[in-house]
Amino acid sequence: MDVDLVVVGAGLFGLTVAQQAAELAGARVRIIDVRDHIGGNAYSYMDEETGAEIHKYGAHLFHTSNQRVWDYVNRFTEFTDYTHRVYTTHGGEVYPLPINLGTINQFFHAHYSPAQAQALIAGQAGELAGTDPENLNDKGISLIGRPLYEAFIKNYTAKQWQTDPSELPASIISRLPVRFNYDNRYFKDTWEGLPKDGYTAWFERMIADPRISVSLSTDFFDAGQPWNRDALAGRVPVVYTGPVDRYFDYRLGELKWRTVDFKERRYDEDDHFGCPVMNFSDPDVAYTRAIEFKNFNPERREAQNHERTVVWEEYSRFAGRGDEPYYPINTAQDRTLYNQYRQLAAAEPQVIFGGRLGTYAYYDMHQVINSALIAYDKQISPLLAK
């Protein structure tokens, strides 16, 4: 075995630990991925017709308040000054999100002050005010009142989860942010932006070290290729970022996920929505949101095609075994099952499980990078020192 570490999965977790292992330990690292590209779900490519950067697995926006993560990613890319703002269509009208004073005044055709808006919403929770409901529907009403909840949250959530909110646990939402000012910036982190040269260029720079090699279209569970699970067991440290239940051949059962399908639309116009992301909160629109990729990069407008634009509609559903898992369902039964798999993973010699699939968790990009840096420091570095 001519490597010191094998990383299964070329997403942000895998790329980060590979980069750290090569740089800090001088390790020879082999990355393998079943896909034909690096970057995991953050992979992007340029659309030749429109000049837009397509985020193949849905919109990815980088933001963080973690100084270590911000310093780390800036080693490999510069960021634009993009600030994420989202809008939603309800009843034939467009409103700003998250719900803020502009949303409230537009919805109620009023001119409430911040204090008046707070009093209004507190009163609209009705009999659910101050209670601790067990289902998401009642929890949402208790947090922001019935009118706003039913307009902007209820049907969007039902489409997203393919389940009536009254049948979903309240634990899915710990809070629903309402801003009693006109701030419609979606994220509240210290730093925010998009990689100036695109996501893929960023990722390529992370693994430019000659000690890192990459094998794409390579299935970890295919015994016909040398970098497979059984051939590597006990011979070399492995960082595994695939589904944890798949690693153990689903012996305890399958963890449940939601997936996303995309339907592409192309329009003979320069700009269709006027914003990067448009949510659709009404039940008569089957998709949850639409993404217009051009609008993520206004600094590239001169080089783009002003006569065509591309939009992806996003449809959420439960994932089957052959689907791409996006979001863990995280019912109590799923958490119990994952904890059983976690015990198996902890006993697996020389294997570190990481990333959202390996730990059955949903992470933003900065959280994945942070967890990878910590995993390298605490778990992977000691393995390489042996």
The catalytic residues are 175, 179, 258, 289, 314, 362, 364
DSSP state of 153: I
Residue 135, token pair as written in the block: 């289902």
Q: Is the bond preceding residue 98 a cis peptide, omega within 30 degrees?
A: yes
Residue 81, token pair as written in the block: 């000054």
Quick check: helix, strand or coil at residue 234? coil
Residue 21, token pair as written in the block: 């292992």
> Is the CB of residue 279 less than 8 Å from the CB of residue 289?
yes
> Is the CB of residue 110 less than 8 Å from the CB of residue 173?
no
CA distances from 127 to 117, 131, 173, 176 (A): 19, 8, 19, 18
Nearest to 84 by CA among 323, 279, 334, 353: 279
DSSP state of 11: S
The span from the CA of 86 to the CA of 144, in Å, is 19
DSSP state of 328: E
> Is the CB of residue 140 less than 8 Å from the CB of residue 165?
yes
Q: 379-385: long-range contacts (C-beta < 8 A, 24 or more apart)?
A: 379/352, 380/5, 380/17, 380/20, 380/21, 380/237, 380/239, 380/352, 381/20, 381/21, 381/24, 381/25, 383/5, 383/237, 383/350, 383/352, 384/4, 384/5, 384/21, 384/25, 384/27, 384/237, 385/25
Nearest to 132 by CA among 124, 148, 122, 143: 143
Nearest to 192 by CA among 21, 104, 63, 36: 63
